[in-house]
A and B are shown apart, each in its own frame.
Chain A
Amino acid sequence: MEQEYKENCAGESRRDFLKKSTALAALATATPVLLKAAGNDEKIAGYFEKIPLQLEVNGKVHNLSVEPRVTLLDLLREQLNLTGTKKGCDHGQCGACTVHVDGRRINSCLSLAVMNEGKNVTTIEGLADGEKLHPMQESFIKHDGFQCGYCTPGQIMSAIACVKEGHANSVDEIREFMSGNICRCGAYPNIVDAIMEVKKGGQPL
């Protein structure tokens, strides 16, 4: 059975996704019966509720077994101990959980971990090269693009994507394309300055 799920989850195509969804639906129906039969045995319940997941985070391949309801955000924070990615609302309204999946910025609280099978995830912990900071990290420090630091990882992940997307051509454009990331300390003008400098510097990001 496990092998079957692995096969179902390995692909990227829409057909594979549909196959996976069907498998999940089948599992959801089967679980209560099996649970009852197993006398609420935690281990058995855990086995049936979890499905295998392979994903690469910051260059490291993880072979995991996760419940389908676990969000990518909670997987990172609670299971992989990558707490640099922050939970600010869990509703996709604040941007604190922004990570890159295959190079695109997403709110990791709105993505189930199992939806990212075989994908490449980059979090704030994966930006620096050893002691050498990423240019956006350096620029945030230089321009004081934060105060408390809680929204900062999400802002930086979003900022890098903003430049790469070609949405950092003017102050107004940056303001618009960075408005999915809330900073309650109000570091917005400094964040814009930090992004403008990186954009002008033209370093590869």
Chain B
Amino acid sequence: MDKEINYTESYFADDRVDGIEKVTGKAKFAAEHPLAEMAYAVFVCSTIPKGAIKNMVLYEARNAPGVLDIIYYLNCPTIPGHRPYDKDPNKKGFEWRGLKVFNDNIIYSNGQPIALVIADTLERAVYAASLVKAEYVTEDFITDFEKGKKDEALLKKAGDYKRGEADAYKTAAVFVEDEYTIPIETHNPMELHATTAVWEGDNKLTVYDKSQGPKGTQAELARNFGLDEKNVRVVTEYVGGAFGSALRSWPHVPAAVIAARKVKRPVKLVLTREQMFTMVGYRPHAWQKIAIGAGKDGKLVGISHHAISNTSTYEDFSEGIVGVSQFLYDCPNVNTSYKLLPLNINTPTWMRGPGPATGCFALECALDDLSYKLNIDPIELRLINYAEVHPASKLPWTSKFLKECYALGKEKIGWHNRAAIPGSLKENGMLVGYGMAGGVFGAGRGQAAAKGILKSDGSLVLQSAVSDMGPGTSTAMVTIGAELMGLPMNKIKFELGDTDLPPGPTQGGSGSTSAVGAAINAVCDSLKQTLKEMAIQQVPAFSTAKPEDVQYKKGMLFFKSDKTISISYTDLLQQSGKPEIEVIKDSARASAEAQKYAMHSFSVHFVKLQVHPVTGVIRLEHIVSTADAGKIITPKPARSQMVGGAVGGIGMALTEEVVIDHHFGRYVNSNFGDYHVPVNADTPIIDVLFADKPDPIINPMGSKGIGEIALVGVAPAIANAVYNATGKRVRELPITPDKLLS
């Protein structure tokens, strides 16, 4: 009677569960759902940074073959959610914070969508869009960050902080004080943002969207179009990267929805790569001034950290840039300030490691400078100032294995070969440098719901409306389910990316595994409880079993003390006449835990590189990324995520920079030929080492997030290695050869 489930195939294999779909081209992304009568929409975008549309000439475009409609501000139906508060005082919360597409003729940025051409084929839509002409009234604008930041009248306060004495660094025996700048960087995931919208009648809407949060997009669409959430379905089964760009909806989402309603056909709207630079956010341009003072023993006396980052003129976006100086190291006196500079460009958004990625560039480079001034090894300097408890809240950390990370990385990179005097180490005529820097990001646990359906054939379906933009959320959820239920991975399917499923969180801030994993954990506990109750009914021997006497392995319930007493899940369901058992569970946000503990993931990145002494060309040789991300659930994808973060950090450090022509207020390098993201040849050997120690508090799996800390700290580690190699400190990213020659 005890038929074991066949698990001759991979049991806890580490391959991605969606690997076959991805390598065969079967995985369907947002623009790849074939629908009958599909119409194609193409944006016409503004060519000025500020002003208003005076006139639009649509005649030629309207008469071009295949054109179904052209939507612009004069004929766009009023979107309920785009109405201002004062027009509808009873419906608070209706006001849309972002750009209200086609709402009026005001131009806020270059590249702003001003019309949408819908035609029966893509080619006809593209051609007709080229025929739309706009005349503008132009106004004075500002796109120059460097110019704007000097004008106090333009700046908006975004938060100050003080602990102990302000500017205490000045009283220290040794201090450094410098300015750091990062340019605008863009997410530019490989999949273009796309929305396919389909209406059924006037009240039911389905949207295939590139979104990190299907539930969030559903809520936004329901609110904006005055629909019941249950009548809005958002499908995001596969998301081709995002890194933050799909954390919220951008103008193309409502635009596609409006278009589909107007032409009464499914409408597909895919952004161009150029539009990916001006329509879906970016990491803001940021200036920082940081000063750190220490005693001769290396003990920190004070940190002062000030930042200004840009936002748009129609929406404020801020991120925790200076926050890292408040808690990453133990320092009695810290003061920080943060201001926003509105520019006539589109709104920035969270991009991988938002806040700490920018803040750690300044903090970790300044600490490196300080280490040379003190003549203390940079790792040693960090250990001297190691924070045993959170320095601001004084709360203990749920777990912190940062010292292990320092030790692992130091050994692997060969830190003992590092020269203490910059520019003194040479190999084969190249200057050689070693550098290191730390990263950090919050590691809480958000709310999530999940469903489990255990079927009589012994297979398990797990569900939650979360996206998987690449980290391997599906693989992690199947792994968690497999371990808890004692089932082989190939018997478990994780279904995601559909708002018809139980509500999952938006994938962001390195929180998916923690939140959804905790919900899966609750589902599996409940399933096991039900199985045990059924076993007691079916197998008399189980009636004497105490909870701790029952084990769940290999698709069966076992009596711990007598392994001959067992029953398979399959038999149990079949004998009790049930085709399946279904459970929905909710896992709450870790609010109570957050009152008692500080929760963070930590990383330390080590770099060895070469610099050509004449040309200044940098050649990365080796990166070692170490992390305390709790227990690692899926080692292979987790390693890949760290490698990917390091590659992102290489771009931030060495190549990525949006360039604006301030005469026209327009991006000049909005394509992959001119905006340089790292390619294969830019990538060195990358080793990843995890502390791999379970966190006892944050979630039942013991995991912490990886996505952000994979990138946070990489750019300063590279900058520090460049300094070690050359003696030149570059404080304006990216570190291009010209900056090393000047």
Contacts and interface: CB of A to CB of B under 8 A. Distances in A.
Interface stretch (B235-243, B389-397, B452-460): B235-243
B636 A144 contact: yes
Interface residues of B, number: 65
Contacts of A74: 122-123
Contacts of A181: 679-680
Nearest to A71: B123
B377 interface: no
Contacts of B122: 74, 78
Contacts of B190: 86, 88, 94, 96, 148, 150-151, 182-185
Interface string B666-710: 000001110001111111011000000000000000000000000
A65 interface: no
Nearest to B684: A189
A89 interface: yes
A150 B32 contact: no
Nearest to A127: B24
A156 B16 CA distance: 17
B640 interface: yes
A85 interface: yes
Interface in A108-146: 123-125, 127-128, 133, 137, 140-142, 144, 146
Given A89-B671, A94-B190, A186 B646 contact: yes
Main secondary structure of the interface of A (DSSP, over half): loop
A123 B24 CA distance: 9
Contacts of A187: 640, 643-644
A142 B647 contact: no
Interface in B595-651: 636-637, 639-641, 643-648
A77 B194 CA distance: 14
Given A147-B641, A175-B680, A188-B683, A123 B25 contact: yes
B643 A141 contact: no
B644 A186 contact: yes
A90 B680 contact: no
A148 B24 contact: no
B643 A93 contact: no
Contacts of B19: 140-141
Interface in A68-120: 69-70, 74, 77-78, 81-91, 93-94, 96
Contacts of A153: 23, 25
Contacts of A183: 190, 680
Contacts of B107: none
Contacts of A42: 65-66
A57 interface: no
A140 B21 CA distance: 12
B275 to A, nearest CB: 11
Contacts of A90: 272-273
Nearest to A141: B19
A53 interface: no
Nearest to B472: A147
A124 to B, nearest CB: 4
Name the residue among B25, B273, B646 with the largest chain A CB count within 10 angstroms: B25
Contacts of A189: 643, 683, 685-686
Nearest to A66: B123
Contact of A91 (B31, B66, B240, B671): B671
A195 B237 CA distance: 28
B240 A140 contact: no
Given A93-B671, A149-B470, A87 B192 contact: yes
Interface in B399-446: none
Given A147-B637, A187-B643, A192 B680 contact: yes
B15 A81 contact: no
A88 B192 contact: yes
Given A141-B19, A144-B16, A124 B239 contact: no
Given A74-B123, A89-B671, A49 B25 contact: no
Contacts of B21: 149
Given A91-B672, A137-B24, A148-B240, A186 B123 contact: no
B188 interface: yes
Most buried by B among A88, A128, A184: A184
Nearest to A153: B25
Contacts of B189: 148, 150, 184
B16 A141 contact: yes
Contact of B680 (A35, A91, A174, A184): A174
Given A147-B640, A149-B18, A185 B685 contact: no
B39 to A, nearest CB: 12
A83 B32 contact: yes
B469 interface: yes
B640 A190 contact: yes
Interface in B116-152: 121-123, 127
B191 A148 contact: yes
Interface centre among B121, B240, B472, B647 (most CB of A within 10 A): B240
B672 A94 contact: yes
Given A182-B677, A186-B647, A187-B643, A83 B243 contact: no
Contacts of B18: 149
B63 interface: yes
Contacts of B240: 86, 148-151
B546 interface: no
Interface string A163-184: 0000000000011101111111
A40 B63 contact: yes
B270 interface: yes
Nearest to A180: B679
A119 to B, nearest CB: 20
A150 B241 contact: yes
Given A87-B192, A128-B24, A188-B680, A149 B238 contact: yes
A19 B636 CA distance: 55
Contacts of B681: 175-176, 179
Given A91-B672, A148-B469, A184-B677, A133 B243 contact: no
A197 interface: no
Given A93-B671, A189-B685, A189-B686, A148 B16 contact: no
A152 interface: yes
Nearest to A92: B673
Given A146-B23, A186-B646, A83 B239 contact: no
A141 B13 CA distance: 11
A61 B283 CA distance: 47
Give the most central of A128, A181, A186: most B CB within 10 Å.
A186
A182 B672 contact: yes
B22 A152 contact: yes
B29 interface: yes
A191 interface: yes
Nearest to A190: B640
A192 B647 CA distance: 14
B123 A152 contact: no
Given A89-B671, A144-B16, A186 B636 contact: no
Contact of A35 (B15, B26, B65, B647): B65
Given A83-B28, A125-B24, A175 B644 contact: no
Contact of B188 (A85, A123, A184, A190): A184
26 contacts: A42-B65, A46-B65, A74-B123, A83-B29, A83-B31, A86-B29, A86-B191, A87-B270, A89-B273, A89-B671, A91-B273, A91-B671, A124-B23, A124-B24, A147-B637, A148-B469, A149-B18, A149-B23, A174-B680, A179-B680, A181-B679, A181-B680, A182-B672, A183-B680, A188-B678, A188-B679
Given A144-B16, A186-B647, 14 more contacts: A40-B63, A88-B192, A94-B273, A125-B24, A137-B23, A140-B23, A149-B470, A179-B679, A182-B190, A184-B190, A185-B241, A186-B644, A186-B645, A186-B648
Interface of B: 15-16, 18-29, 31-32, 34, 63, 65-66, 121-123, 127, 187-192, 238-241, 243, 270, 272-273, 469-472, 636-637, 639-641, 643-648, 671-673, 677-683, 685-686
Q: List 6 A-B pairs, minimum CB-CB distance, nearest first.
A: A84-B25, A186-B647, A150-B240, A149-B22, A148-B470, A186-B644
